[in-house]
């Protein structure tokens, strides 16, 4: 379910695309071009059910074996 307003800042949600970054084991997985609703004020993104399903699906395949994507360089910074 998609709210029509941002639940953080009450900004307006606009349809767009976003990225989702997650770390699984020691791999950084970046899923890009995800259709989402993005707040025009704080840029919080909301995934429609269809996008969440696809993200889950991609994460499942990453967990269960090698996934074929473009390798990326990543920088990891700790706040500690
Ligand atoms: Zn917002």
pLDDT at residue 2 above 80? no
- Cα radius of gyration (the chain): 15
What per-residue confidence (pLDDT) applies to 65?
79
Query: Count of alpha carbons within 13 Å of 48, Cβ hemisphere only?
Result: 11
Residue boundaries of the structural domains of the chain: 13-64
pLDDT at residue 1 above 70? no
What DSSP line would sit under 41-66, residue for residue?
TT--EE--HHHHHHHHHHHHHHHHS-
Span 18-73, pLDDT tens digits: 999 998 877 888 999 999 999 999 999 999 999 999 999 999 988 887 777 888 88
Ion ligand 1 neighbours (CB, 5 A) are: 6, 8-9, 11, 39, 41-42, 44
User: Is the full-model pTM beyond 0.75?
Assistant: yes
The CATH architecture assigned to 13-64 reads Roll (3.10)
Ligand 1 centroid to residue 31 C-alpha, Å: 22
Contact in structure between 37 and 45 (CB atoms under 8 Å): yes
């Amino acid at each position: 379910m998609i709210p029509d307003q941002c639940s953080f800042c009450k900004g307006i949600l606009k349809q767009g695309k976003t990225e989702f970054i997650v770390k699984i084991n020691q791999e950084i997985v970046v899923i890009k071009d995800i259709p989402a609703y993005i707040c025009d004020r704080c840029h919080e993104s909301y995934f429609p059910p269809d996008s969440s399903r696809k993200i889950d699906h991609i994460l499942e395949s990453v967990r269960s074996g090698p996934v074929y994507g473009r390798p990326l360089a990543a920088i990891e910074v700790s706040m500690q």
